[in-house]
Structure formats: C-alpha cells, structure tokens
Structure 1
Amino acid sequence: MMNAKMMNVSETEAVPCAGGCGLFGTRKNNNLCSLCYKESVRKQLAALRLEPETKPSTVCPPTSSPVAAEEPVVIKQRCGKCQRKVGMLGFNCKCGHMFCGSHRYPEEHSCLFDFKQSGRLDLARQLPLIRAEKLQRI
C-alpha cells in the first residue's frame, strides 16, 4: 500500500521538459510539458493518418512582400452611433452599420433605410398579381 502511494507521487513529480522549452513536465507525459506533449501527440496523429500532410507546393514561388506575410488586421466592431465596442453582441442594421443594444432600433440611430419601400417590394415578390380575364359580352 505504501509502494502504490510512492508510485503516484513519482508519476506527478515535476521534471524539466525533455523538449527543451524550459518548462516542467511529468513522467506521465513522457517527461514533456503540456505544450510539448500536445505537439508530440499531433505529430503522432499526423503520421498515423492515411493521407499525407499538406506541404507547400513548389509550383508557385512564395511571396516576398512583408504585407502578405503578416496576419490580417482585425477590425474592432463598434457602434455606429456612440462608438462603443460591441464585440459579438452587435446588431447589424439594414442600413449596413452595426449598433449596440441601446441604438439597435432604427428610431434610435436615425436610420436612412426605407423600410416601407423594402416591405412593398418583398410583398410584390411574394404575392404575384392575379387578374381575371375580361368577360366577353354576348
């Protein structure tokens, strides 16, 4: 019983990472830290796949422009009226802008979109005009 307790302690004992990243790993993870262990598992799974890993093709030369190498710039979403950050909770209006919860209604942000005309066009598309033919007089 004492031996089993000692074994659990030695399994969870922190040792320097075998990957050389400077963090501490455990014997349970092959002396790797959590980051290196995840990477090694990914490499093992990629080797076990039936399809080969995708490698950059040699047909097109790589672009040398520094702008293309950088990640795209993330534009922060802000309310069109008060400029408050809205994040994922923003409301898109038919006028094309994004608004916060306070300014989501057309009356609150002086929306220029013509909702009446849009509704009329939708109804005209959904309900075709039905006319009976004229009756011939006898």
Structure 2
Amino acid sequence: MMNVNETEALPCEGGCGLYGTRKNNNLCSLCYKHSVLQHSTALRFEPETEQSQCCPPTSSPVAEEEPVRKRRCGICKRKVGMLGFNCRCGHMFCGSHRYPEEHSCPFDYKQSGRLALATQLTMNRADKLQRF
C-alpha cells in the first residue's frame, strides 16, 4: 500500500506552476534538473580556485582533443580516405574534384601569386645615368 503523503501532489517550490515530489525536494522534474546542474557546476569550479591559490600550476601540457572530421569530398560526399586533396579554399576533395575548375574554388590564385612574387622579387633599380 502506498502512503498518502508520498502520492500527494505539492506545488513546485521553484515557482514554475508544476507539481513537485518529495523525492525531488518538492521540485518538479525541470526545476530539479536545473538545480542539480547548478550544484554540479559549482562543485566543478571550486577545486580550481583552491588549487590556484595554494599550489603553483603544473607545467604538464594538456592534450586538447581535436574534433574528428570525416574525410569526404566537398562536392560528391564520397569518402576519400588517405587520398584526399586539400584545396587552398579549406575543403577536401576526391581525385575528380581536386582541380579548382571542377569545384568552383573561391580562392583567388592570381592574387596570391602576385603577392608571392612581390615578396620574393624585390625591385632593385639603379639610378638613371646622367649624360653630359
């Protein structure tokens, strides 16, 4: 038999208008999840502040995880595996779409060539000869 107090519907103490349960501290399921998340983030951030005050930070590098990118052609979505071609526009293409004309590449090759030549070849001009 169930106790009457356990099944009694109480208004949520969070003030949202729903009904809470005694198991969830008189909170509805939404307010309870929200309070648990706030409590867990508060616990997660407390040790960092204490550690920074009492101990110097360790010099061990933290390995950041890179998101896994699927290696597919930007045009036909075919898997390219190890044979994918990276374009200067930043996308990866298969063998048939690797050329800029095939995938309508927005990268300006002419301008990049001009800039490369301008930095590599400096203009050394001598003064004009004066005739007597």
- TM-score under structure 1 normalisation? 0.45
